Amino acid sequence: MAGGDQKEHNFLMSTLPEEPDLTTTFCIDGYLKPYEQEIRRRYTCLKELINKIDNDEGGLDQFTRGYEKFGVHRQPDNSIEVTEWAPGAAGIYLRGEFNNWQIEDRCAFRQGEYGRWHLRIPPNPDGSCPVGHQTKLKLGIRLHNGEIVDRICPWAKMVARPHNVPIFEQIFWDPPEDQVYKFKHRHPGQKEGLKIYESHVGIASWEGKVATYKQFTDNVIPRIADLGYNAIQLMAIMEHAYYASFGYQVTSFYAASSRYGNPEELKELIDVAHSRGITVLLDVVHSHASKNTVDGLNQFDGTNSCYFHDRGRGTHDLWDSRLFNYTQPEVLRFLLSNLRWWIEEYQFDGFRFDGVTSMLYHTHGMGHAFSGNYDEYFGLNTDTESLVYMMLANHMLHSIYPDFMVTVAEEVSGMPLLCRPLEEGGSGFDYRLAMAIPDVWIKMSGESLVIDRGIALHKMIRLITIGLGGEAYLTFIGNEFGHPEWLDFPRAGNNESYHYARRQFNLADDNLLKYQYLNNFDRAMIRLESRYRWLSHPQNYVSLKHQDDKVVVFERADKLLFIFNFHTNKSYTDYKIGVQMAGTYEIVLDSDAEEFGGHKRLDHGIKYHTFPEPWCDRANHLFVYVPCRTAIVLAKTD
């Protein structure tokens, strides 16, 4: 069921049990048993919040549709209605191109209950709408000292910056029906075995400029599909003031970044990805917000709180940003509705939640080298309010969109139960990013100074990561062909240069260059996983980790045998390998093959037969030739 097809969700909302069933939880990890009381307390906090929303707001479905009421809306009779939440304001005015930017009585909001303000502007005498498509708007917030300050509606669907002006303006996005993009394809519905291509639209071109949604749709999605990736994670989509922030200083949470194009072009991008069977995840930033006031949420109503905590708790010192007050019902409405907006309006399939570690702890994880001691996760440093917000978000998303929803946590502390179901006392995420793995590879590859050795290691690193790294795989745009330059956005320190804020796909397409070999290997590796689907297969056994030989051997998905020789110069003839399943094996992937820039030292016509003698705790064994700096995958064929 596509997000846009779901109009009534109350009957779909799953009901959480009164108490979590911790039987499975403690079977998986008995060390959690001493923390049972704290696990149950967190679950109780979630249940109490859900019950409060049910009683006060008519349920989560209604509560999370805030975008239908708040913000600027054209009504069927062409009148304009606006609702804003600004509890600290003394008054609010709507002004813009439609009234020559005047502060006038007909555009003054009336004060309602619970800090809300309401405005209705009737249709023009000829029946047309007083605020036309692409009209520039601002909110004038009257402070209690009489001063009127400019603000942008927090629910704005589109904002843009005039040329060489560093402040966004709200653009009333209300295109004629024939200009609204109509989705043609449904959600792919993939939840397991995700092979994610992490992307930034702005850098998705070889040219020194900000690339567009359209360019990404036409040029990059075909590459992603050709490689075999089945998911795209889009970064820096939520509008942000500072391009070099990588999208992490969000100013307008409901506006797709206008740097790359308009909202309809983003919809087309997602729909085209869906036509290829590709899941599209949004990198969502609900951990903090930009400190901008004129075009951000900060001091929206003239006070230092409103959407955020006041004083020290409301500021992230390292990121120089504001921190949400997750105890405030209107903040919960704003953020939860924001998640639904990106699904209902743009048809995203799920989210990568940014900054989860920062949200989990009062210290935001700063200056804390987590040792793995469970006391670190179940003590007073854990921010229950933030944690319960994420639990609630996962409950809402997986209940309303069970057929396709995927949530990923960017979390580095190792919080237990983060990816267990809520019913088992968990936080409800589907995946957690294994952030420590790339750090190891970066260090290792940084010490590889010879090009031939570096290429060989690059291929082996990818294969062992997708082979052992977890239940999904992620690469960053350009890594598939070993992009030769780092990423550095235009900023004062580099004279606003775009030279390093681009991806040179032309390098992979040049048959005279070696980048093609890494691209070819990435394609073969990703397609091999699609064929055997080991990421979603439970069978996984490491039979050998030989430090002196520099050999690693493991089995996946019953049929596959992965063999790695990381030694810089030693190759092994008739190397004895343990394997559980008896039978005949053949090479299905060889990092040393010619098309991957290797030395083609292996004969792919050889069939490897097992012998019924145990080896390395496996029931059988076989013998293989394993060249140095080579990884091979054997598949059982009978």
Which segments within 558-602 are labelled E, that is strand?
A: 560-565, 572-579, 584-590
The alpha carbon torsion through 70, 72, 73, 78 (nearest 10 deg) reads: 150
3-state secondary structure (DSSP) of residue 304: coil
pLDDT digits (tens, 9 = 90+) for 42-92: 999 999 999 999 999 999 999 999 999 999 999 999 999 999 999 999 999
563-601 pLDDT per residue, tens: 999 999 999 999 999 999 999 999 999 999 999 999 999
Residue 365: both structure tokens together: 């994880």
Helix axes 451-468, 515-532, angle to 10 degrees: 20
Residue 499: Cβ-neighbour burial (10 angstroms; 0-12, 13-18, 19+): exposed
Average pLDDT for residues 408-420, to the nearest whole number?
Answer: 96
- What whole-number percentage of the chain has pLDDT above 90? 91
Could you read off the pLDDT of 400-411 as tens digits, one per residue? 999 999 999 999
Pairing of strands 116-121, 110-111: antiparallel
CATH superfamily of 71-153: Immunoglobulins (2.60.40.10)
Judged on CB neighbours under 10 Å (0-12, 13-18, 19+), 521 is: buried
Rounded to whole angstroms, how far apart are CA atoms 435 and 410?
8
* Spatial contact of 35 and 42, defined as CB atoms under 8 Å apart: no
Span 330-345, mean pLDDT? 98
Tokens of 500: 């390093």
For residues 212 and 176, the answer to whether their CB atoms sit within 8 Å is no
3-class SS of residue 615:
strand
Q: Which H or E element spans position 526?
A: helix 515-532
Q: Which is it for strands 431-432 and 560-565: parallel, antiparallel or unpaired? A: unpaired
The predicted-structure confidence for 460-505, as pLDDT tens digits, reads as follows: 999 999 999 999 999 999 999 999 888 999 999 999 999 999 999 9
Q: What is the mean pLDDT of residues 185-209?
A: 96
- Sequence-separated (6 or more) residues with CB below 8 Å from residue 564: 460, 463, 464, 551, 552, 553, 630, 631
pLDDT(445) > 80? no
d(CA 509, CA 500): 19
Beta carbons within 8 Å of 306's beta carbon, 6+ residues apart: 86, 87, 88, 297, 299, 300
Which CATH superfamily, name and number, covers 538-636?
Golgi alpha-mannosidase II (2.60.40.1180)
- Residue 581: other Cβ atoms inside 10 A: 16
pLDDT in tens, 120-157: 999 999 999 999 999 999 999 999 999 999 999 999 99
Q: Which fold has domain 1-65+230-434?
A: TIM Barrel (3.20.20)
Strand stretches in 217-301, DSSP E: 231-235, 238-240, 250-256, 279-284
Q: Are strands 406-409 and 350-353 parallel, antiparallel or unpaired?
A: parallel
Q: Are 378 and 309 in contact (CB under 8 A)?
A: no
Three-state secondary structure call for residue 485: coil
Question: Which pLDDT band holds residue 10 (cuts at 50, 70, 90)?
Answer: very low
Per the structure block, which two tokens stand in for 384?
A: 């229950």
Task: Give me the DSSP letters along 131-171.
Answer: S-TTEEEEEEEEPTTS-EEEE--TT-S-EE--TT--S-EEE
How many Cα neighbours within 13 Å face the side chain of 141?
24
Domain boundaries, the chain: 1-65+230-434, 71-153, 538-636
| Residues contacting 445, CB < 8 A, separation 6+ | 454, 457, 458, 461
Please report the pLDDT score of residue 3 as a whole number. 39
Q: How confident is the model at residue 391 (pLDDT cuts 50, 70, 90)?
A: very high
Q: Which residue has tokens 């910056």?
A: 161
Distance, in Å, from the CA atom of 300 to the CA atom of 402, rounded to the nearest integer, reads 35
Quick check: do 71-153 and 538-636 share a fold? Answer: yes
pLDDT for 297 beyond 50:
yes
For residue 296, give the nearest of 280, 285, 311, 282 by alpha carbon: 285
The three-point CA angle 202-522-536 to 5° equals 100
The dihedral region occupied by 274, where left means phi > 0, alpha psi between -120 and 50, and beta the remainder, is: alpha
All residues at 6 or more sequence positions from 548 whose CB lies less than 8 Å from its CB, including other chains:
none
pTM: 0.94
Q: Residue 19 is which amino acid?
A: E
Return the bridge partners of 634, or none.
Answer: 561, 587
Mean pLDDT of the chain: 94
Query: Going by C-beta distance under 8 Å and a sequence separation of 6 or more, which residues neighbour residue 147?
Result: none
Q: Read off the pLDDT of each residue in 178-189 and give the average, rounded to a whole number.
A: 97
Helix (DSSP H) and strand (DSSP E) numbers for the chain:
13, 28
Task: Round to whole Å and give the CA distance between 147 and 90.
Answer: 10
Q: With a cut of 70, say whether residue 12 has pLDDT above it.
A: no
Residue range 183-196: mean pLDDT, rounded: 96
Which of 128-142, 445-459, 478-492, 533-547 is predicted least confidently?
445-459
Question: Hey, which residues are catalytic here?
Answer: 354, 410
d(CA 521, CA 597): 9
Residues 6+ apart with CB under 8 A from 96: 131, 135, 136, 137, 138, 170, 172
